[in-house]
Amino acid sequence: MRGDLLHLADPVVMGILNVTPDSFFDGGSYTTEAQILLRAERILSEGATFIDVGGYSTRPHAPDIPEEEERARVLPAIRCILKAFPRAYVSVDTFRARVAQSAVEAGACLVNDVSGGTLDARMFETVSQLNVPYVLMHTRGTPQTMTRLTDYRDVTLEVLDDLQKKIFALRSLGQKDILLDVGFGFAKTREQSFELLENLNYFEALRAPLLVGVSRKSMVYQTLGTTAAEALNGTTVLNTLALTKGASVLRVHDVREAVEAVKLHGMMVRTRSRAGLD
């Protein structure tokens, strides 16, 4: 990655930096350069490996925005982060191929596509030519329609099959590094998201690192009868469960707590190994 070898044998954390006015949890919090740099500094200082910059809100029913508006949000953010922190690994959270290309040209070293290539037919070809890792996520429809597209006969098997077919398409184009995201909450009911979490280890058969994004989502706060603002503890619980199921990357709003979960889980794994229990 950007000339570095980055192994995910031990789980890492990806900190979220939304440069949007309407994201479900922190919309409007990071719109100026000063706010962006303070957030980036905190993400890095608390131990995250990646900073994930997004300029298009993908919460359910979020309004669509033009491509140029998304570019105008993410490109200055990426440039100012890398000017201040030139060794940072910056990811771009976008489903648009031209935004991905511009972001990589600006210094991003990973493309995180919540649409899994479904919303821009050029994405797979573009990312394979960019020679950067790609996060392949499962969803259906768009942020505006996905809540109506939750009819699965077997959600685990159907998501597994969809990701497997897309991995084959990407490999056929020469894409080397792929991470997988089952898409918690994206065209999934709360119950379906929990089923996917329970069966997360099944996806290890696809032989790609698993990225988990449950941070402060409705599957947490609706289950607890609270709000996104009160969902940190629940998020940490689900992140810890995800680590036990094979997660390699935790994508989070709250970096310090996720890093602590990774460290504690790692100690348990090493203890089990020393005891000969694995």
pLDDT in tens, 171-203: 999 999 999 999 999 999 999 999 999 999 999
Domains of the chain: 12-274 (3.20.20.20)
Q: Which of 145, 76, 82 is nearest to 109 (CA)?
A: 82
pLDDT of residue 60: 77
Residue with tokens 């119950």: 191
- From CA 186, how far away is CA 219, in angstroms rounded? 11
For residue 256, the SS3 value is: helix
Give pLDDT tens digits for 51-91. 999 999 887 777 889 999 999 999 999 999 999 999 999 99
Per-residue model confidence (pLDDT) at position 119: 95
Who contacts 44 (Cβ-Cβ below 8 Å, separation ≥6)? 15, 51, 85, 88
Residue whose C-alpha is closest to residue 192's, from 216, 156, 160: 156
First-to-last C-alpha distance (Å) of the chain: 31
Q: What angle do CA 118, 123, 124 make, to 5 degrees?
A: 95
**pLDDT value, residue 28:** 60
pLDDT of residue 3: 57
Q: What is the pLDDT of residue 106?
A: 97
For the chain, list residues with pLDDT below 70. Answer: 1-6, 22-29, 277-278
pLDDT for res 58: 81
Cβ neighbour number for residue 31 with a 10 Å cutoff = 15
Q: Tell me, what DSSP letter sits at residue 200?
A: G
Report pLDDT for 140: 95
Catalytic residues: 217, 251
Q: How many other C-beta atoms are found inside a 10 Å radius of the C-beta of residue 71?
A: 18
